[in-house]
Amino acid sequence: MRNKSVLVNLALAALLGGLAGWVLWRQPETGQLAVPATATAPGVAAAGPPDTAALPDEQNNIQIYKSVSPAVVNITSTTLQQDFFLNVFPVQGSGSGFLIDDRGNILTNYHVVSGARSIEVTLSDRTRYAAKLMGRDRLTDLAVIQISDRKKLPSVKPLKLGSSDTLQVGQKVLAIGNPFGFQGTLTTGIISALGRSIQDQEGRLLEDLIQTDAAINPGNSGGPLLNSRGEVIGINTAIFGQANVGIGFAIPVGLVNDILADLMSEGRVKRGYLGVISREVTPAIAQLLELPVSQGLLVFQVVPGGAADRAGIRGGQRRGFLGNEEFVVGGDVIVELDGTAITTAQEMSQYVLKKRPGDVVRVTLYRGRQRQTLEARLDERPGPD
C-alpha cells in the first residue's frame, strides 16, 4: 500500500506541475530581459535611425563625417633601414591623406611618404591599393600620391579644397584621420591661432600654419582639416610635443592651391632663386665697417651668371675679421625686396621662395653710402625639392 500511495502522490505532483507551467506560459511577460530576434555581433553597434534629438552643431558634425570620411585614406609606407651590422630591414610607417580628384590622386604630407620604397593606400571600406609618388615638396611638407590601379576604384567623391584667406580665430574646425591606426577618427575644435611658424624634426621652418585644439595625434598627418561646410582648409601636419595636448598645426590650403599644379605636372615645385650668399648685418658689424645702415644683408658672393649677378649686385672683394669670425667685406648691403624690409637671410630666402622663376624682384641696396634699386629676374631654385 505504501508503494502504491507514493506512486499516486508523484503522479498528482507531476500533473499539478504541468498545469502550473501551462498557466505561467500563457501569461504575458512582464519586466523580463528579452533577446531580440536578430542580435548584432559583440562590439558591433547596429545601425539605427538618425538621432533627431541631436543639436544643430552635432548634426553638422554627423553630416560632414558621413560625406567626407569615405575620401579620407590610410597610407602605409615601407622604407628600408640598416641596423648596426649593416643588415637591411623594412620599416613601416603610417599616416593619412585624402582624395582630391576622380583620378586617384591623394594629397598628404611629404614626411608620410619620404623615402618610401612602396606605398599602400587603404580606403574607408578597407580595400587596399598600391600607390605611387607623383610629386613632393620638402619645404612645405606636402606630397601627392596616386592609386596605381584606378580601374578598380570605387565611386568616392573627392574632397573640395576651400580657402584659407578668410579664416578667423575661434572658427569651428573638424579633423579626420587615422591616429594610432584607428581609421576614420573624427575630432572637432576651433582655430586657436593663425600665422604660426614652427620647425619640423629636420629643422626646416614651416610658416603661416593654422593652430587648432582639435585632437591631432601620430597617424593624423596628411589628413584634412575642415570647416563647417566640409571644405578642406588645411592639411594636418604636426603637434606640439609627443602626443596631443591641444596644440596642433595644419598647413593652410592656400599654400596647397599655390603649388598643387606644379606637384602634379612636374613632380616638384618651381621656385625663384636669387643666387646670393650673404651675412646678416649687426650693429657691431655696421660700426666696424662704417656701414650706412645697422640692419640688412651684407653680400659676400653672388652666383656667377645668376639672377643677382645679371642684375648688377656685387659681392665682397676682401676678407675681414670680427673677433674670431672671418667674413668678406666690400659687397652691397641689401635692405629691401619689393619694398619689404629684409633683415635676415631667412627673411630673404622665404620671400624669394614664394616667387616663381622669371619673376622680377626689385632689390634695394646700399653700395657704399649710395642707396639704389636694381631689378633681378629670378632663376629656378636648384635641387629636386
Q: Could you give all domains of the chain from N- to C-terminal order, each with its CATH number?
A: 68-152 (2.40.10.10), 172-266 (2.40.10.10), 272-380 (2.30.42.10)
pLDDT of 334 reads 97
Catalytic residue, from 77, 94, 96, 221: name it: 221
Catalytic-role residue among 77, 94, 111, 332: 111
pLDDT digits 0-9 by tens, 113-148: 988 888 999 998 888 999 999 999 998 999 999 998
Round to whole Å and give the CA distance between 31 and 99.
Answer: 51
111 is catalytic: yes
Residue that has been written with the C-alpha cell 572637432 in this structure: 188
Q: Could you read off the pLDDT of 57-105 as tens digits, one per residue?
A: 899 999 999 999 999 999 998 877 666 665 665 667 789 999 999 899 9
Average pLDDT, the chain: 83
Catalytic residue check, 149: no
Catalytic status, residue 5: no
pLDDT-derived band of residue 47, with 50, 70 and 90 as boundaries?
very low
Looking at residue 68, its pLDDT comes to: 95
Find where cell 656685387 sits: 314
Q: What is the pLDDT of residues 335-381, one digit of tens each?
A: 999 999 999 988 898 899 889 999 999 999 999 999 999 999 999 99
Rounded to whole angstroms, the Cα distance separating 79 from 96 reads 17
β-strand pairing of 105-108 with 142-147? antiparallel
Q: Which of 141, 213, 309, 379 is catalytic?
A: 141
